[in-house]
Structure 1
Amino acid sequence: MAVLEAEGLRKRFGGVEAVRGVSFAVEAGEMLALIGPNGAGKSTCFNMLNGQLRPDAGRVRLRGQDITGLAPRKVWRLGVGRTFQVTATFGSMTVLENVQMALLSHQGRLGRLWRPVSAMDRAPAEALLARLGIAAQAERPCGILAYGDLKRVELAIALANDPALLLMDEPTAGMAPQERVALMALTARIARERRIAVLFTEHDMDVVFAHADRILVLDRGAPIAEGAPAAVRADARVREVYLGSGATQGGH
């Protein structure tokens, strides 16, 4: 059984049909890239999967359970982690506190007010930061971190939920080329180790073709190609509407 199944998703905003009949599935441990030109419907798809938007038609299933239109907090509770185009952390709190908050939420122990937690509660957060290579930043406020480190903190927060599905909306946006490669290579290793299904959008084609197991291409809200990276790169329509006629692996 696929971890995520999207079936016939549609979403209209006024006279514009932003998503038109999108269907796909993601298996455990698989990295599926969702790509396409600006306005193709990628973020709208993400927001329907995550519960921020309710589809006008179609269904979303997580491990066989219908989650269509559930609120984001309920989707989180069912095992879906998410990172955003613009990083979402508590800037005045330390890196460790941000991850602890996510862990306590996952455990159902997060009260209405933040309060110090025990040394026992620190260990899982510290282990996660070490896995992501940012243990040295644990006591620093997120508001002063370099952008690459902040992206890793956001990934740690998403992984604190022990997700079955990880949604990553432009995970390397704003990062230097070497940081992009390192972050996605680490994500791929963790996804395969923990059997996490990963769906990500990305404009950097080097990242997409290096790390995606499969690629789904949207144009004007509708799927135009799906398959292995080599097949998608060679697809004439994809090259016409997105990659460009002279595109190589790194072409946009």
Structure 2
Amino acid sequence: MSPPVLEVSALTKHYGGVHALDGVTFSIARGELLALIGPNGAGKSTCFNILNGQLRPDSGSVRLYGRDITGLAPRRIARLGVGRTFQVATVFASMTALENVQMALIAARGQVFGLWSPARRMGREDALALLEQTGMAALAERPAATLAYGDVKRLELAMALAGDPALLLMDEPTAGMSGDERQAMIALVRQLTRARGLAVLFTEHAMDVVFGHADRVVVLARGRLIADGSVEAVQSDPAVRQVYLGGAPASISEAP
């Protein structure tokens, strides 16, 4: 059995008397789509920000393929193979979709300070290949400012893949999308997870996305991990039902 891509061990972060994370432990394997869910204030954002180096934990460790990356700078963690997308997509609005991905490739390859050849030619074929993988090839020459929101999210995904990550962190990848758009986006992520052998950790409030596509689900509540298992196991877990539905017998898939 191959080693986990990511191992999170006893991760703890306090803000005064508030336990944002309290001994959180989980792992994720290559080719696995893992959902990290929980009510507002559960600790999801704190966890993500520690994983990609924006925050330092008070204690605990984060290992990528067995290498301790706890507390490293975001740029260094990215270079080691951790990509990230954000709830609010961040792209260069004045650039075309193709140029956005080219810039992501240039940054990932450390070529930003060596642009003695025109940037428009650098990484063009690789950028087009990433746009093809994310269903954006037909919109390659469109300025990002003119793209529909769902297309901007797919463009951001292509940019995150430019660094050829082993682990991809996705913060609310379907936020702001319609039901059909949500399903199409997460199906694309699932396909790329399998095809590229990625490990994908994502947060999501849309339970139809989580329980329709995740391989496994980790649940946080008040900074503590209360469940880690298959979709079926988490849906039937009494502690999870209590957190989301106050113990009601209805399916957790009805939760907002």
Range 137-146 or range 180-189, more displaced = 137-146
Q: Distance in 1 between the 2:70 and 2:101 partners?
A: 28
Tell me what 2:124 maps to: 122
TM (norm. structure 1) is: 0.95
User: Where in structure 2 are there 5+ consecutive unaligned residues?
Assistant: none
Query: Structure 2 residue aligned with 1:238, among 240, 245, 249?
Result: 240
Which amino acid in 1 is paired with 2:240? Answer: V
1:37 match: secondary structure: coil
Q: Distance in 2 between the 1:229 and 1:243 partners?
A: 17
1:247 equivalent in alignment to 2:250: yes
C-alpha contact 1:209 1:249 (8 A) present in aligned 2: no
Q: Distance in 2 between the 1:246 and 1:134 partners?
A: 42
Query: Structure 2 residue aligned with 1:215, among 195, 214, 217?
Result: 217
| Count of residues in correspondence between the two structures | 252
Q: Distance in 1 between the 2:117 and 2:153 partners?
A: 25
Which amino acid in 1 is paired with 2:132? Answer: A
Which amino acid in 2 is paired with 1:94? Answer: T
Q: Distance in 2 between the 1:156 and 1:184 partners?
A: 14
Which amino acid in 2 is paired with 1:4? Answer: L
Which amino acid in 1 is paired with 2:254? Answer: G
Q: CA RMSD in A?
A: 1.6
How far has the Cα of 1:118 moved from its partner? 5.5
How far has the Cα of 1:140 moved from its partner? 1.9
Tell me what 1:111 maps to: 113
Tell me what 1:159 maps to: 161
1:58 match: secondary structure: strand
Residue pairs, 1:30-179, within 5 angstroms: 30-111=32-113, 116-117=118-119, 119=121, 121-179=123-181
User: Where in structure 1 are there 5+ consecutive unaligned residues?
Assistant: none
Q: Distance in 1 between the 2:119 and 2:94 partners?
A: 17
How far has the Cα of 1:114 moved from its partner? 10
Query: Structure 1 residue aligned with 2:184, among 167, 182, 185?
Result: 182
Which amino acid in 1 is paired with 2:111? Answer: R
Q: Distance in 2 between the 1:212 and 1:54 partners?
A: 28
Deviation track 1:191-214 (CA, whole Å, cap 9, x = no partner) reads 111111010000000000111111
Detail structure 1 runs of 4+ shifted over 4 Å in the superposition. Answer: 112-115
Q: Distance in 1 between the 2:56 and 2:132 partners?
A: 37
Tell me what 2:193 maps to: 191
2:101 match: secondary structure: helix
C-alpha contact 2:31 2:194 (8 A) present in aligned 1: yes
How far has the Cα of 1:189 moved from its partner? 1.0
C-alpha contact 2:172 2:203 (8 A) present in aligned 1: yes
How far has the Cα of 1:121 moved from its partner? 2.2
TM (norm. structure 2) is: 0.94
C-alpha contact 1:216 1:226 (8 A) present in aligned 2: yes
